[in-house]
Structure 1
């Protein structure tokens, strides 16, 4: 039985982010796009463009269940596309772009990051899988090149994205009997507001990486070359609407070279490249000098 409308739910649609661009693109293509924002988060940018939105905190079970009840009524129990994009919620501004060396990481802070980046998508799938199965729909998990390569100062974020990638791989297999597709987007750097929230972060006093304090400060204040979030959204939406989307879809700044090296180079190629790029020899020399003078 054919249906007049197709429905896409996109989590994490705060102003200036990827989610906002995604719901706009789905709407442009004739899909009934439904956005979510955090409870008490400004939603004027969605209301102004006529996009239906609901409050949602993916770390809260009751919030997810409440959204499911509202959507079931709105969509008659179908959901064609679920985009798990709420990966860096403004609920945890101290975690936005959490940049820190692995050994200096605040583990309790990172626990909250995993609640959003990993357990959030798991929670959404747990409660919305029935609606997706009814629609023979598509789950889109927004991953990152950080989950593929050991990008310096990003151990915690990288780990959360790697976990999401592997969860998606197994989910893709397990949902295949129901004709539900799972698309993992390996995102490069996209032009959003995320990095602005991390510009004041510094290495802790006494860190073994203190010789890189200035480098670290320059790193968090950098302005990287990025892909437009609207260009990114156009490509992701196109892929998600295909009858058979790619299992992994690489898009965004730097994904071309990273995909090539990940496929054809030896596994430790990144150690060699990043050791030089991030001046790790400064740390080694300082460590050796300290040991010698001890």
Structure 2
């Protein structure tokens, strides 16, 4: 259990805030009293509607987390951040036999692992100065590989390991680090998942994430699938592995 964090009055930065979970997190932060949200995306035009709705409490930043210069620019612009939500993610459906798999794996790692590493380095001094919190939006697939998503799962496993390391290394400097492990969420990224996956609405997931941050939960499971899988994983990692492996053989 980490120290509790207040959403009301906070200043947050959300990567990938233009859609899906990121958009829902930005909206939930604003609805729950955040003083300011830096909403970031590769294309700032995709954030115009959010800014129009919430006015000056939304500051739009252009940010591609794979671009070190843009990360550094964002860190210089947002020196008052209390809460850093590393949400931007990449997923490309692929199979082990796919000749593109190495390229796919590199692209996913570049966003899901190296992107977060860049953000941690860029915002470390600000978060230490403000006694802030880092929230890494990962996936249940980062705890045990989903064979339907082999390289994506591997990139999220790397992200989970980085979350653990940064939590240990930054705790003594007053920064709390949360890992978020949802199951399937109803976003563009999951539109091609088999029908046996029950998806949770992004707004419900976003509010559970903020509940977990405020409660000081190190590991946040923000949806029914995530909660059940988290319990299975903590009880028996091998059983969790078999559970996800069985999905491959389940008819669509």
Which TM-score tier does this pair reach, normalised by the shorter chain?
Answer: 0.7 to 0.9
Render the CA deviation track for 1:97-130: whole Å, top value 9, x for unaligned. Answer: 4222234352022201111000111100101111
- Structure 2 alignment gaps of length 5 or more: 1-7
Between the aligned partners of 1:61 and 1:275, the Cα distance in structure 2 is 36
Q: How many residues align?
A: 238
- 1:138 is aligned to 133
Q: Distance in 2 between matches of 1:122 and 1:266?
A: 26
Larger Rg: 1
Equivalent in the alignment of 1:247: 218
Q: Which residue in 2 is equivalent to 1:42?
A: 46
TM-score between the two structures when normalised by the length of structure 1: 0.75
Please give the secondary structure, in 1, of the residue aligned with 2:78: helix
Give CA-to-partner distance per residue, 1:138-164, whole Å, 9 cap, x none: 000001111122312211010011110
Query: Structure 1 residue 187 and structure 2 residue 189: aligned?
Result: no
Alignment check: 8 A CA contact 1:85 1:141 kept: yes
Please give the alpha-carbon distance, in whole angstroms, between the structure 1 residues aligned to 2:92 and 2:175: 33
Match of 1:238 in 2: 211
Structure 1 residue 65: Cα displacement: 1.1
1:270 to 218, 223, 241: 241
Output the TM-score relative to the length of structure 2. 0.86
Aligned to 2:152: 157
Structure 1: gaps (5+ residues): 73-77, 89-96, 200-219, 281-294
1:274 Cα shift?
Answer: 5.0
Shift of 1:14: 1.6
- Residues 62 and 264 (structure 1), Cα distance of their counterparts in 2 relative to 1, 3 Å cut: same
Query: How far apart in 1 are the matches of 2:188 and 2:101?
Result: 23
1:18 aligns to 2:21 (yes or no): yes
Task: Give the superposition deviation at 1:195.
Answer: 2.6
State the distance in 1 between where 2:196 and 2:53 align.
29
- Quote the RMSD (CA, aligned, Å): 2.2
CA-CA distance at 1:252 after TM superposition: 1.7
Which residue pairs with 1:64 in the alignment? 71
Deviation at 1:40, TM superposition (A): 5.7
Partner SS for 1:98: coil
Contact 2:30 2:37 in 1 (8 A): yes
